[in-house]
Structure 1
Amino acid sequence: MLSASSAPIIEATLPVVGDHLEAISGVFYQSMIGENPELLNLFSRSAQATGEQRSALAGAVAAYAGRLLHGEPESHLVERIAQRHCALGIRPAQYTMVGRYLLGAVKQVLGDAVTPPVAAAWDEVYWLFAAQLIGREARLYAEAGVDGSDPWRRYTVANKILEAQDTVSFVLTPADGRPVPAFAPGQYVTVAADLPGDGTQLRQYSLSQASTGGTLRITVRRVPGGAVSGYLHDTVAVGDTLRISQPFGDLTLRPGDDPLLLISAGVGITPMASILEHVARTQPAREVTAVHADRSPDRHPLRVDMSATGARLRSFRSLVWYQQALPAAEPDTYAGRVDLDRVPVHPDADVYLCGPVPFMQGVRAGLHLRGIPDDRIHYEVFGSEQWRRPVPVAV
C-alpha cells in the first residue's frame, strides 16, 4: 500500500495525470523507443502507428494508482498484465528502464508541477506496481518451466487449414520432439514472426483447441495491412517452423458446473472453441450456450468445429448474428450485433467474452441489465485497446 506521505500527493495529482495521459504516453514512447529501437520488437508497429500502444502502460500505472487510493483489489489488473508480459518474454531488468522513461515523461509534460515530493510519490506507485508484476511473472515463468533469457520454442507447422474466407488455422508440433505443454482452455501463445527484411514482430493468438498433449492450434484472421497475419497467411507453409512462447493468459475456464455462456465476435471465437472442447471432454452434462457475431457465414471461422463439439454435450444452444443483415455503413466493430433479449441467460451463468472492445462493452452492459454481475463476466482484450478509461478525472 502507499505510504502515508505519498497517498495525499497521489490523490491530489492523479486527476492531472489522467487529463494529460495521452501526452505523457506519447513522450514516453517517443523517448524510450527513440533511444532503444530494439524494443520495437516487443510492440505491435501497427498499434504504435495508430497511437493505441502508447496509452497502455501509462494508463495501467494510473489505473493502479487509483485502485491503491480507493483500496480496491488490483490482482485482476496485475494478473492480466503479468500473463501478457510472460508471453512476450519481459524480464525484471526492463522495469528499471521503463520506469526511468515513464517518470521522465511525467516530468516533461507536467513541468514545474512535478516537485521532488510529487516525483517521489509517483516513483513509489510505479515500483509498487512493478514489484507485484515482477513477483507474479517469476511465478508464472517457473510454472511454465521457462528459465534463462530465451522463452521461445520452435514448432513445426504440421497442417495449415483454411477455416473461413480470411482465416487460417495452423496445427503445430514441437520441433525438438519434447512434449507439447499442457495449457488451460482459453489461453494464448505468442508467435515471434521473423519478417523478411523487417525484423521480428510479436503477436498473441488464442489456442483454438483444448489441450491434447500432441499439438497446438492457432487460428489467425488476416488483418488488412497486418504484417504478421499477412506473413502467416501468405508465406508460412506446412513444414516451416515458428518460434512460439509457452501458453499464458487469464481468460481461463473457472472451476464449477454452472451454466456456461460463451459470447464472441470475429476471431474472438478462438478461445471459445478451446473452452467448449474442454467442457465437452470433461463435463458433457454441463449446460452451454454459444453466441457468435460475424461479418457473414463465409467469414465465420470454426463454425463446423463448434457445432460438432456442441453435439457432444447434453445441453447445447448455438445462436449466430451476421453483419450482412445490418446497414452496410455500420462500423465493423460488431457492437450491438447480438440481441441479448433473444439469448437465454441463466441467472447463475458464467460468461466468457472475446471480440472487439466496443462489442464486449455493449454485451457487458446488456448482461448487467439481465442481472449478471461483473464477477461472472470474464473477457479477453488483445492488442493495446483499453477496456475502459483507465483513470478517473476526479478522486
Structure 2
Amino acid sequence: MVDSIGAMQKYVDHGDKYVLKVTKRNNIEHLEAKSKGLITFIAKFLGFKSYKLETVCNFVKNHQASLEASPIFQPFYQKLSAKVSVHNQQHPSYKITHLFKAKSGQSQDAASIQALRQTFEAVLKDQNGMGKYMHGTQVPDVLKIYDDAMESPTPRQAFADGINARVNQANSWGQDKADHIITNFNEIYDKSPLAFKTSNQAQQTPQVIAIANIAKRDGYVAFYKTGPTEFLGNFADCPNGINVFGKSFKCSEAAFQWRKYILAGLPPAELAGFFTANGQQAFDLRNKLEAKYKSQLAIGTPAATSWSGGKANSVGGARDQAMWEVLQAKFKQNPGFMDQLQATKGAFLLEHNDSSTKEGYWSDKKDGTGLNMLGQMLTAIRDGQSMPNKGGIDPSMQHYVNQANSNLQYNIF
C-alpha cells in the first residue's frame, strides 16, 4: 500500500496537477498519480471523463482497511468525494453511488438515515409550517431527492443540487421555496448523527501537523490568500463547498458577497456568478457591483446602514451575522479545514494584510490599526465561543502584527 498512499498524498497536495489511475505491478493493483498531459486536457475540453473514477473508487473500497491506517486517508477521501459529486452532476446517467465510506466523516448508517428521513418528512408535511406551502407531488419529490442524496458521498451538497435543479420546472417549486426546503434539511441534518462531529483531537494529516508546528513555534498564525494557512482565508476553495442561505458556493468569499448584495436588493441574475466563483472571481464581481450600484451601496445609504451600521469599521449589522454563518458552515462542512483550525489551539489568529491602504475591518490593516474581525471570528469558532461583538482593537494584537511584518516565515500573499 506504500505506492498507493504516496499517490493519495500527491493527489491531496497537488490535485490540480495529477489524475489517479489504478495500475498493476507484479500482478498487484495500486493507485498511481499520473501527471496531467495534453490528452487529459483535450478530453476534459471535449467533455469526456479523463480517467475511470469508478475504478479508483472501487479500489479504495476494496482496500479501505489498509488505506485508512494512513493519516492522509481522511483528506484524500474528502477530495475524492468532492470529485465524485462533480462527476455525478456532469454525468447523471453514470452516477457513482455509495461505493465506500470513511470511518470518520459522514456516516451512512441506515438507521440514522431512516430516522432523519422521518423527521424531515414530518417537517415537510407540518401544516403549521412548511406543509402549508407544499403542493401536489412536491413532498414525495423532495423525499426522492433526499434518498438519492443519501447515496452520495456528500449528502448535503447532493441534496442542495437536487433541489436547485428542479427550480421552476413543471409541478415543481420556485427559488424561494427551494431555499426554505434546503434550509430545513440542513437544520435537521446538522443535528443528526450523520453530520460530521469534530473529534477532540484533529486528524494528524501533514497539513494539520504543519499548522500545529507553526502555532507552537510562533504563538500566532497569520493568514491571507495563499500558503500553508490559506484554509483560514475567505479565498480558499472548500473541498466540500459551502451550503449556506439555501445556496451552494465554492468558497466563503463568494457566499459572503452574495449575501451582502441579495440583502441590498440587487437583481439576483447579476449575482448568479457567485455560485461558481473562486475567491478572486468573487472579489472581482464584488468590485464590479460596487461600481455599478455605487449610489445604492455607498456609506450612508439604507443598504449600507443595514449591512454595517453605516460605518466602515463599526461592529454589528447584518455583515457580522452573515460572515458568522458563512464561517460556521465552512468549517462544519469541511472537516479537514476544521482539523487544521483546531491545530492552531492557543495561538493568536491574524488576518494580516499586505497594505495599510486596504480595508481594516476584517484584517489588521498591515500596521495593526485594523480590527482583525475575521481572526476574532475564527478564534471563536475554534474555541467553541459565541460570535464576537466587541468593538476596538485587541491590545495584544500589535505584538503579532510586528512579528508578521518583520519575521513571517511562510508566504501568505
TM-score (normalizing by structure 2): 0.28
Higher RCO, Cα 8 Å, sep 6+: 1
Relative to its length, the structure with more strand (as a share) is: 1
